[in-house]
Each structure stands twice: as structure tokens, then as C-alpha cells.
Chain A
């Protein structure tokens, strides 16, 4: 391959790939370590460990999103829109984040019919929901509820928390998300940008998916809403 043929973004992508491997090993061992330490070390230390795991998995989530966006941009992401058991996917997302949430005493529960099935790319939507959980985790007091049902031919998944709700400027930002986010704005915006890309890619019968954030819901806190056609 000629030197000039290499795109800089290819380097970023391959480095991310490499970093992800390291992180995967870290997460695995930290979780094992936490199990080992339970009951042997004091609560504050255990809590620190939990927070470390949370930070590592947050990094991993970011890297996955960048990598997925890179591939979506180059049209080399193998999108696989297939029928999924919504209940199962949501429960899996919660399970995946159990350790990190447990340490902070947050309980997350799922409200979804057993026979609720919908069409989407499982890994991409899981990415969106993990991101939403991570956000809710920052804003909530101690509860997160994921509610899903089919309404007007769209699947609606709501991630609700019992925190103070989104600050006003974030609610404003969500309008920008719909128009397309610019990386220039203060916070990275990566999570929302990724999520809105994924939502928009899900199309059916002339409609496409979208997301919104609002305050209210079951706990009168912050709500992240994903709608898929």
C-alpha cells in the first residue's frame, strides 16, 4: 500500500480497535476483582472500584460509538435489522450495566410485555440504550425505569430516572440533535449524535426513527425517548 493511500481516520479506527481490546481485558478483570473483594474490603474502597469499572465501561462505550460512526460513515457497518424480543434486549442492557450501577445503589427495572417484538439492529440499539443508561446514571437519584411499548406503529423506548430532570440548555440542545449535531459545541455530544444517527437509520414505510429528551415520566425526572418505525 502506498503511504498516501492511508486515510488518517483509518489510523484512528485501528487504534481504537486496539484500545478496545485493552479495555475489554480491564473490565473483565476489574469485575472479577470486585467479586473477590466483596466483603473483604471496606465499602468506600468497593465503591471506588465500582466507579472505576463505570469509567472504564464509559470509555469503552465511547470507543464503540466512534468506531461504529466511522463504519457507518464509510458504509461498511453490517446493519442487521431483524425482529427482536424487546423485553429480552432491554433486560440484557440492564444486566450489562448491573455492576457499575450496583455500587451506587441504583436500581434499574424494565417494564415491557413479554410478547413485544420489534425490528432493529440489536447491537446498535443496545449501544443507544447503554448510552442512555449511562446518562440517566449521572442524573438519577436511585431509580431508573426502562419502559417500552408499541404506539402508532412505532416502538417507543423510554429511559426514565428520578433525578432533577435535564437542565434547560440540554432540552434546547435536543432540538439541535434533530438538525444534526456539531462537534464544536462544548460537550462532546458524541452519545447523542451516535444515538440520533442510529435512530435515523431505522426506516420503514416512509418513516424513520428519532429521539428526544424531556422531563417528566413515571418519576417526574429526566426521560430519554427513542422511537423506531
Chain B
């Protein structure tokens, strides 16, 4: 980390040689001697991979290829730059598209041209100061010790400073990350009591959304947009809320309008495509997926889901041959991506089935089965359901039921998913048999969990851990089972003393729980217990 501006190593990225010369002149005036400069994204990324920089001054608009934001995201994603690197984006004008990313993919500062030496020097010195202050918080976040990070925020928030606003936003994000929704609600409300700020109001809406109060969430996001129609993060949330309320038509409208305001947002373009597909607006879905693929071209955020979506639309539009081509491209683009391969195989099965080529469909599904066996964790529920549907249609009832049984095991308390499974059974004409299977499978999971609780109460943690780990082999994504496992591991450590490796394992498990089910009620208690356990004993 840079301790002073003069000692910093600086990289300048700009496609205009005259701009680079000017910037280097500025840096020289400030007494900075360790500088490099490049004119395009490729060279920038190559240098960033090789060398550690304290400060990167990057032009946003670099002509063809990746823009400044995409370089920044890729460098961050590939760990070429750490949290201590100061990234300053230089731009001739502010555009909506520059402000779309999530908080963690925002550069440290934007500078509007013309940049003068005094302005640059002032800002860089401030940023170095700010990095120093935020360093301990970012370190805690990096090691996933969110509870500590929140405590550090509170500590710094005791005095009002230049960083107050930023600290408040970080704290809000952290409270959402740990899923402490009651605390998050109180927090956002207290910020809003002083002033209506779009980020805080959107945070409050997100609390309602996460706690499944979609109606209130919708109202709040609508308010944010009324007050500030350019705060498009609220439009994304509003669309999600409308979708959850079943109003997919309106969700489509909201996203389409947001795309007009910020036409380069590939993620939102994909969301628009997804909801259009749901609404059966196949032409819009097709053009939106195509646009999303194009927009994501240079971005690390490009997703195989977009290709899968386009292939699904094409299959639905009776053009399975074209769908297969898209899937071919996807396989090419996402070579070592397990999820992409699985998705492609399942949709290939759908396409071949539609083409009336059952043998090829079988072949594709056999590939999919192999992939699922090789990597049973984190399998997308939608992909599994789609696969089960094709299997039913091809007459493989047992295989289809097996898949759906797996879905139930992983989600035995998620009524939305259970309803989807039930609908799939009904579609296949075996509604009654299906309901029976759902009931039986759910009960099995409940029994194992209960057994675990008994063992834990008796202090037989090792035995309980063994039981849970075995059960998780067939239900790897069941968040309740994982939390029970974590409880027992923490119990064991409380009894026998802490073990760094086990602490790390529990942290990983809890992180998965958070992703699998943001509403898991035990997550918070366990995170706190772990935080207490892992902090050094007080004297």
C-alpha cells in the first residue's frame, strides 16, 4: 500500500499519446518517479498481471475493445490488483453506464476532464489517506469476518468525517451480507430519518425484498425511482419485486425503460430477456439475449446463462437447429465451466427432442447426467427441472423422479421449489405418486436433522458431524443440514478448544448457506458464535 504519493508506483492508461504525456508530466511535477504508461487494455492487463501498482490512472473511453471499467473489473477478478490499489477513472463526461456496477466494482474515484495537476495531486493524497483508514475494514471483509468489519465501521463512525458517507454505505452492505435484516432495517431507517437518500432507501427496499415482503419492497423501489429516476439499481430491484409478485408484464416494462436510459448494461439486458421469455414475448427475448451477448463480449461478467436463454428462445420458436449453434458457441466460450456445460447439455437434449431426434437427445442427457455426478454441488434448480421435464417426455420416468427427489432433498422446506416439483409431476401425469414422493423425501430429511439435534444435545458432536456429512452427500445444497453441521462443529470446538482449520471450514460452509438461502434463520447466530470463538481470548 502506498504510504505517500511520491513513493507510489503509478500506471497510466490512455489511448491518446498526448494525454499520456500530459499525465506523466503531472506526475513528474508531483515528484512521482515510478511510472509506466500504456495505450490499450491488452497491454494494461499484461502489465497489471506482472507488476504491483499502488495507483492506476485509467481513461474510461479507450476506443475499441475493453473500456476502463472492464479493465478494472478484470484486473480485480483476476487478483492482479488488491484492495489497496487506488484506481482512478478519468473521463470526459459522466454517463449512466459508468455507474452501473456493484459497490465492489466501483473505482475509488472519477475525475472529470480537464484534469489539472493540482486537482490530481489533491485527490490522490486524499485517496491515499482514505485507503489507510479503510484498510482494517477491508481486511476483515476479505477474511469474511463481517461481524468484525461492522464493529470497525461503528468505531470509525463515532466521529463525523469525510469518510462518514462511505462508511455508512459499507455498513449497510455488510448488514445485508450477513443477513441481519432487523438490524439492517433499523440502520437504513435511521439514515433515512436525516435525509432521503436513494442508496439507503434502496437498502430498505432490499430488506423488505429479502424478507419476502415483496409488496412493500415494490412500493419503496417505486418511491426511489419517483424521487430519482436515474437510480437504476432501484429499477432492477423493482423488476425483481414485480416478478416475485407475479406481475411479469410490468417487470418487463420497468427493465425496458431502464435499458433506454442506460443502453450498455449487459446484466440488465439479460434480465429483460429472461422476463420477456417468461412472458412469451419471444421476439423481444431473442433480440435482448443477442444484445446481452454482444454487450458482455469484453466483460468478465459474460455469462453462459445468456447463451442458454437464447438457445431456449430459439427452441421455443421452433428453430432448434439455430439453438444448437448457439450452444456450440457457448461451449466454445466457456470451456472449463461446469455449469455452462451442464446447461448446454440439457438444452441440447430439449432441442434434439424438438427436432424429433430422440437418440441424440438421449446422448446429450447422458452427458448431463455424467456432469451432475461429477459435481453434485450447487446445481441450478431450473436446469435440473428442465432436465427432468425432457426425461419425462423421453419416457425415462425413473431418472426424472430421481432428479426431482434430489431437488426435494436439497430444498425440503422451500415451498416455491416444492410447488414447482409438484407441478412437474402433474405435467407428467403422475401427480399423486409425485406428492407421495415429496412427502416421503421431506420426512427423511427432517428425521436426519432431528437425529442430529438429539446427538448434539447429548454432547455427541463427533457422531453428529459424521451423520450430517453423510447425509449431505445426497443433499449437498440443503442449507438446514449445513447449518446443523456448523452448529455441531462449533459445539465441538467450544468443548475441545478451537481449531483454525475447522474455523475456516465452518466459515466456508456458512458462506454457502448465505448463498443458498439468504433467509436461513440460524445463519446469524452461528456467524456470531464463530466470530466469538475465533477472536483471540481476552486476558
Residues of A within 8 A of B (CB): 17, 20-21, 23-25, 27-29, 31-32, 35, 57, 60, 64, 67, 71, 75-83, 85, 88, 91-92, 95-96, 98-99, 115, 117, 119, 123, 203-205
Contacts and interface: CB of A to CB of B under 8 A. Distances in A.
Contacts of B122: 91-92, 95
B228 interface: yes
Interface of B: 16, 18-19, 22, 25, 29, 92-96, 98-99, 112-119, 122, 126, 160, 162, 164-165, 195-198, 227-230, 261-262
Contacts of A76: 95-96, 230, 261-262
A78 B116 CA distance: 23
Contact of A24 (B113, B118, B196, B230): B113
A79 B96 CA distance: 9
A204 B196 contact: yes
Given A20-B93, A77-B230, A119 B195 contact: yes
Contacts of B227: 203
Given A115-B160, A117-B164, A24 B195 contact: no
Contact of A98 (B99, B113, B118): B118
B286 to A, nearest CB: 19
A32 B22 contact: yes
Contacts of B22: 25, 28-29, 32
B164 A83 contact: yes
Given A32-B25, A76-B261, A78-B98, A25 B16 contact: yes
B114 A78 contact: no
A78 B119 contact: no
18 contacts: A17-B92, A21-B113, A24-B114, A25-B18, A28-B115, A28-B116, A29-B22, A31-B117, A32-B25, A60-B114, A71-B94, A76-B96, A79-B228, A91-B122, A95-B122, A96-B116, A96-B118, A96-B119
Contacts of A25: 16, 18-19, 22
Contacts of A29: 18, 22
A23 B93 contact: no
Contacts of A204: 195-196
A67 B25 CA distance: 28
A83 B92 contact: no
Nearest to B93: A67
A78 B96 contact: yes
Contacts of A91: 122
A176 to B, nearest CB: 28
A21 B262 CA distance: 23
B113 A20 contact: yes
Q: Is the interface of A mostly helix, strand, loop or mixed?
A: helix
A204 B92 CA distance: 29
Contacts of B92: 17, 20-21, 24
Given A76-B262, A119-B197, 13 more contacts: A20-B113, A24-B114, A35-B29, A64-B112, A75-B230, A78-B94, A78-B230, A82-B165, A91-B122, A96-B116, A96-B118, A117-B160, A204-B195
A221 B229 CA distance: 40
Closest 6 CB pairs of A and B: A28-B22, A83-B165, A24-B113, A24-B114, A95-B118, A27-B114
Which of B116, B117, B165, B195 has most A Cβ within 10 Å?
A: B116
A204 B198 CA distance: 12
A212 B102 CA distance: 39
Nearest to A99: B116
A80 B114 CA distance: 20
Contacts of A35: 29
Contacts of A32: 22, 25
Nearest to A127: B112
A115 B161 CA distance: 8
B165 A123 contact: no
Given A20-B92, A75-B230, A117-B160, A92 B19 contact: no
A85 B166 CA distance: 12
B17 to A, nearest CB: 10
Contacts of A71: 93-95
Given A83-B164, A92-B122, A117-B164, A77 B94 contact: yes
B96 A92 contact: no
B197 A81 contact: yes
Contacts of B262: 76
Nearest to A32: B25
Contact of B112 (A17, A28, A117, A123): A123
A96 B117 CA distance: 9
